[in-house]
């Protein structure tokens, strides 16, 4: 099955841009990885292997969260790509991290205030340096068309890569936030996935993992299962929960961890850990290790030495990283350091610096990719 005409035009455009930027210099193809083995490694760690996910694709030479950036990561030989998805005003899942369009597009305002046609026809993407490109935003459906084009099925083996879909929450100030929650995005995106499985005839659900914060997930698995069965997509569900620390250990992170720990569709839990000994986050990681579960980590991109860009694209959330400095009695925050994540036992890293990390880990014998081929 060929991609839709609009997607074919975009694929042709991204091919030209990628070739011009040298993004396809690698001969690596997604099909070299066994999707079942990659997902199995995301569930339970493999010796001498730290999984790597290219965060928002490889965006050095392409706008983040685009098919172009996804393809760059695939051609570079990564086994996993993570993209961000939000709902717009039409209730359609689009690839976008920020809840406003200002930082990375030629448009302004909340994504939730834009309808499908206007987004498709009027909005163009920017590079991180502000350069306007000819690329428009991609829908999640288009991303799945690309995913299907890279998937092979032969003799029971599904070749391809793992696609992690980070479902984003709306801003508290968003007037349309009630209709565009991450949980609403889960139901909408899950339906799109089910439709694409039916239309392409490929087992796309084998390698697509939906990721969202624990506070967005119903604490009762029965509620989630009923909702997604009603949406017609529960059978293809793979899920990942992000756990945020709660000093009282009574928040949604602990409840979701307990309720979903043994659910077969829950691939993993990403515990947000900022420093060694942080209450409950440290225990969560210990629990994952004890159960032989993979420990994911996200060494976030520090836009400036002492901060990270906030989710609306503004700079910066303050981060204390200097060990000799004590500021406002805040604990040190090492979550942006990949060395910190490795120190606490992470064996799956999602990073903007995936090419560097690949070389670093390979030099230390931690990229035995033959186990997932």
Check which CATH number belongs to the domain holding 163 and give it.
3.20.20.190
Tokens encoding 143: 């991303």
pTM to 2 decimals?
0.89
Domain count, the chain: 1
Percent of the chain with pLDDT over 90: 71
The answer to whether position 21 is within a domain reads: no
Q: Note whether residue 5 is domain-resident.
A: no
* Bridge pairing between strands 348-351 and 296-297: parallel
Structure tokens at 75: 């051609």
Residue 231 has pLDDT above 70, yes or no: yes
Which residue did the predictor score with more confidence, 15 or 139? 139
Q: Please work out, in degrees rounded to the nearest 5, the angle formed at the alpha carbon of residue 233 by the alpha carbons of 222 and 92.
A: 110
- Of 313 and 192, which is predicted with more confidence? 192
The residue-averaged pLDDT of 32-60 equals 97
pLDDT at 127 exceeding the cut of 60: yes
36: containing domain: 29-372
H-only helix segments in the chain: 5-21, 35-43, 67-75, 116-122, 140-149, 182-200, 221-230, 252-260, 281-290, 338-343, 354-363
Q: What is the pLDDT of residue 312?
A: 55
State how beta strands 317-318 and 348-351 pair: unpaired
| Distance in Å from the first CA to the final CA of the chain | 25
Residue 171 in any domain: the answer is yes
Range 215-228 average pLDDT: 97
Predicted pLDDT at 316: 56
What is the predicted pLDDT for the residue at 222? 98
- Does 229 reside within a domain? yes
Q: Is 18 a domain residue?
A: no
pLDDT-derived band at 301 (thresholds 50, 70, 90) equals confident
Average pLDDT over residues 306-335: 60
Confidence of residue 194 (pLDDT cuts 50, 70, 90): very high
**Tokens 């200097």 appear where?**
322
Residue 363 domain-assigned?
A: yes
Residue 16 lies in a domain: no
Q: Is residue 256 part of a domain?
A: yes
Per-residue model confidence (pLDDT) at position 178: 87
Decide if pLDDT at 303 tops 80: no
């Amino acid at each position: 099955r060929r991609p839709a005409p609009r997607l074919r035009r975009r694929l042709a455009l991204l091919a030209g841009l990628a070739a011009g930027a040298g993004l396809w210099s690698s001969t690596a193809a997604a099909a070299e990885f066994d999707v079942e083995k990659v997902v199995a490694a995301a569930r339970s760690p493999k010796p001498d292997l730290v999984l790597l996910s290219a965060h928002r694709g490889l965006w050095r030479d392409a706008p983040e969260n685009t098919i172009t950036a996804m393809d760059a990561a695939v051609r570079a030989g990564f086994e996993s790509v993570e993209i961000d998805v939000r709902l717009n005003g039409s209730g359609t899942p689009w690839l976008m991290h920020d809840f406003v369009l200002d930082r990375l597009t030629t448009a302004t305002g909340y994504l939730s205030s834009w309808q499908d046609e206007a987004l498709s026809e009027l909005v163009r993407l920017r590079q991180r340096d502000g350069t306007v490109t000819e690329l428009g935003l991609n829908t999640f459906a288009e991303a799945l068309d690309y995913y299907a084009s890279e998937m092979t099925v032969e003799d029971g083996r599904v070749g391809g890569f793992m696609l992690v879909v980070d479902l984003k929450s709306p801003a508290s100030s968003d007037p349309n936030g009630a209709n565009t929650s991450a949980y609403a995005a889960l139901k909408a995106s899950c339906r799109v996935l089910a439709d694409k499985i039916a239309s392409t005839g490929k087992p796309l659900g084998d390698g697509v993992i939906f990721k969202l914060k624990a506070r967005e997930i119903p604490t009762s698995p029965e509620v989630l299962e009923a909702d997604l069965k009603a949406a017609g997509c529960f059978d293809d569900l793979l899920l990942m929960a992000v756990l945020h620390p709660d000093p009282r250990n009574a928040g949604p992170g602990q409840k979701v961890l307990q309720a979903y720990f043994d659910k077969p569709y829950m691939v993993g839990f990403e515990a947000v850990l900022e420093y060694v000994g942080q209450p409950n986050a440290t225990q969560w990681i210990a629990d994952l290790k004890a159960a032989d579960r993979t420990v994911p980590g996200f060494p976030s991109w520090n836009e400036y030495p002492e901060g990270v860009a906030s989710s609306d694209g503004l700079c910066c959330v303050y981060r204390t990283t200097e060990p000799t400095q004590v500021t406002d009695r805040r604990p040190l925050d090492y979550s942006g350091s990949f060395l910190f994540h490795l120190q606490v036992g992470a064996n799956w890293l999602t990073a903007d610096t995936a090419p560097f990390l690949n070389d670093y880990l390979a030099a230390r014998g931690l990229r035995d990719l033959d186990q997932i081929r």
